[in-house]
A and B are shown apart, each in its own frame.
Chain A
Amino acid sequence: MPLLTDWVKKAIEPEPSSQQRNCRLPEAGERDEDELLAVRNLSVNVKSSSRPVIEGIDLTVGRGEIVGIVGESGCGKSVLSLSIMGLLPSALKLGGGELRLNGQSLHQASQRQIRSMRGKHMSMIFQDPMTSLNPTLTIGEQLTESLRLHLKLGGREARERAVLWLRRTGLPRPEAILSSYPHQLSGGMRQRVMIAIALCCEPELLIADEPTTALDVTIQAQILDVLFRIREEEQTSILFISHDLGVIAELCDRVAVMYAGQIVEQGTVEELFESPQHPYTIGLMKSIPKPEKKGMRLYAIPGTVPSLHDRGEGCRFQSRCAHAAAICLDAMPALEHRGGSHAVRCFLASGERREMDV
């Protein structure tokens, strides 16, 4: 296990320069001009039991930045994105913490205020393009309604802009597509339509919740290409949610790894992929299929994500971690900076475990 020995070595002998580099995560209350979305110590609870589904989430998305969130199903990626949009299912509610877009609090905003921001300042594309469009309305109707609402465009202007955006997402014959219904389009085309709907009012933030998961591989690459190109052209910030590390590595500037409702590791793509430190991140990376390992059994992290009721006092990953020690059972490690923008939630990566074990 070359990777593992690598990071153990790193953990034991931390880079001398890492302490001098300044941290990218600002403290609460402080605001960076480049910062578009700021999530501070956010938690989302189940309404009936007040149990947190996600907690202690700290995340920043800068202007024009693509930030990836990666993790298994059920780790809270979608809950996080829906909480930013103010679209949490009725069984969940925002708990403590802070949620700011452009410096404006989304946490304290009224329903009406959040609604006026949705589609205009932040918008979202979803996993399943087959069901995310209304089957009874034409593409044109669904595309122009936000243009008419947010930009107050008239019928013709809205149509022209809709055509423009359909073309920008790479759809052929956009005029014909405007008058067609969702079931007449393929999955890839529908996802392009979704992207056009999400971006036509030029929001600062686009949340993409596994936008390529339901599509086949060639279409996936095209959709990623569209997102990347639009980011270059429009400086749109993207919060990109995926369970596919390959996609994340290709597209994102920074990554946060989520596990059981917490961020367990975050940093730039280089930091994370070159020196992953949390055992969960390392496990995820080992489970990427690689051509040189052809014929060998694919690595899988043993066990499953603990359910909401099985989360104990200690580290959430402890039950599946090969390196778990006594302290991991009793105490929750904090998300600690490891130099640069790299932060890890693990005793092993921080000093504490080392002192105790050795």
Chain B
Amino acid sequence: MYWARKSFTLLLTLAFVLLLTFFAFRIIPGNPASAILGMEASQEQISELEQKLGIEGPLHLQFFRWAGGVIQLDFGHSIRFSEPVLSLIASRLPVTLSLAAMSLAITLLVALPLGIAAARARGRFADLFISLTSQLGLAIPSFWMGIVLILVFGLTLKWFTVSTFVPWSENAWLALKSLTLPAIALAVPQIAIVVRYLRTTMLEQMNEDYVRTAKSKGLSNANVYYKHVLRNALIPVVTVVGINFGEILAGSLVIEGVFTLPGMGRLLMTAIGNRDYPLVQGMVLLIAFTVIIINFVVDLSYRWLDPKIRLK
């Protein structure tokens, strides 16, 4: 029942995204044929090229042609690169996904201990310091953070080489190293959000009766916080992290530009500039699909964290 309902919502959302990505981009003026042929092209030349590119005829017919292809996992050919959309995405996706995953990992690794520490030191110096710093982290845009990181750790200290991406298949260590700075830049605002959120939910949970029970057993403070309180406090935090994963993905499109990483972000910019309909549609669809899947994973993690949901 659960899976049936889940799959149904997944399909419905995807169908809606399919519609939206197709029509939203067609509303924007300009088309690929005139973009390729330039200002002086005649109407005949343009319609000839349109036919060649498969973007002629009424919009709804175009849509059904495209949607039919998508169902068979055929996303068409890119106009700009004259390559299948799927293989173009496949070459860029690992960079973006690993960047997003890395920044998510950094976010959790840093934010969880800090949030707990802030809650435990409530009202004392450590709490104040963490809260103030996280306010700052929230205010800094990640592209600026990226530039500063390049300047300090790339150009001045020379700990990282900037602007050279080594694929994972070539050298995993160098790949990891080249993704570290952009992942940090992306993670900073996320860390700030999670720290503040976790601090609040921890403090809320600490007033609960079960915490008193745990203490009355003689458990150490660390045990009470990490085992009893954290698990309960994480339930609402997971929602925030899940929602923000979309934001991390969007942010990575920008940060790839700052660090000149060959990911989805730069591909998308090029595709939009060239009115490369099939490529843009394919990428937006894929990004939407990723976000939906992440939300699904969030849902699953609730079931792991909260036994009440698990048994329903």
Contacts and interface: CB of A to CB of B under 8 A. Distances in A.
Contact of B232 (A117, A118, A132, A134): A134
A124 B209 CA distance: 12
Interface stretch (B30-38, B39-47, B211-219, B290-298): B211-219
A142 B307 CA distance: 14
A135 B98 CA distance: 35
Contacts of B213: 126, 132-134, 142, 194, 197
A136 B218 contact: no
B220 A115 contact: yes
A181 B308 contact: yes
List 3 tightest A-B contacts by C-beta distance, closest first.
A119-B218, A118-B218, A131-B209
A145 B216 CA distance: 12
A137 B215 CA distance: 15
A62 B227 CA distance: 36
Contacts of A118: 215-218
**B218, B227, B235, B308: which has the most chain A beta carbons within 10 Å?**
B218
A135 B218 contact: no
Interface of A: 85, 87, 115-120, 123-124, 126, 128, 131-138, 142, 145-146, 149-150, 181, 183-184, 194, 197-198
Interface in B191-231: 208-210, 212-220, 223, 227-228, 231
Q: Give the secondary structure class of A's interface.
A: mixed
20 contacts: A85-B216, A87-B216, A116-B218, A118-B216, A118-B218, A119-B216, A119-B217, A119-B219, A120-B218, A123-B217, A126-B212, A132-B210, A132-B213, A133-B210, A135-B308, A137-B228, A146-B219, A184-B311, A194-B213, A197-B213
A145 B220 CA distance: 11
B244 to A, nearest CB: 23
Interface of B: 208-210, 212-220, 223, 227-228, 231-232, 235, 305-308, 311
A155 to B, nearest CB: 16
Contacts of A138: 307
B308 A124 contact: no
B72 to A, nearest CB: 44
Contacts of B305: 136
A212 B38 CA distance: 85
Contact of B212 (A87, A136, A146, A184): A87
Contacts of A123: 216-217
A239 B40 CA distance: 96
Contacts of B218: 115-120, 146, 149-150
B210 A146 contact: no
Contacts of A133: 210, 213
A126 B307 contact: no
Nearest to A116: B218
A124 B216 contact: yes
B212 A132 contact: yes
Contact of A136 (B219, B220, B223, B307): B307
A150 B308 CA distance: 30
Contacts of B235: 136
Nearest to B306: A136
Contact of B210 (A120, A124, A134, A149): A134
B216 A149 contact: no
Contacts of A132: 209-210, 212-213
B38 to A, nearest CB: 64
Contacts of A181: 307-308, 311
A201 to B, nearest CB: 9
A137 B227 CA distance: 9
A135 B217 contact: no
Given A119-B219, A132-B213, A133-B213, 19 more contacts: A85-B216, A87-B212, A116-B218, A118-B216, A126-B213, A131-B209, A134-B214, A134-B231, A135-B306, A136-B307, A145-B217, A146-B219, A150-B218, A183-B307, A184-B311, A194-B213, A197-B213, A197-B217, A198-B216
B312 to A, nearest CB: 11
Given A117-B218, A119-B217, A146-B217, A137 B231 contact: yes
Contacts of B214: 134
A116 B215 CA distance: 11
Nearest to B228: A134
Nearest to B305: A136
A226 to B, nearest CB: 18
A257 B215 CA distance: 28
A132 B208 CA distance: 8
A190 to B, nearest CB: 11
Contacts of B208: 131
**B208, B219, B235, B307: which has the most chain A beta carbons within 10 Å?**
B307
A43 to B, nearest CB: 22
A149 B228 contact: no
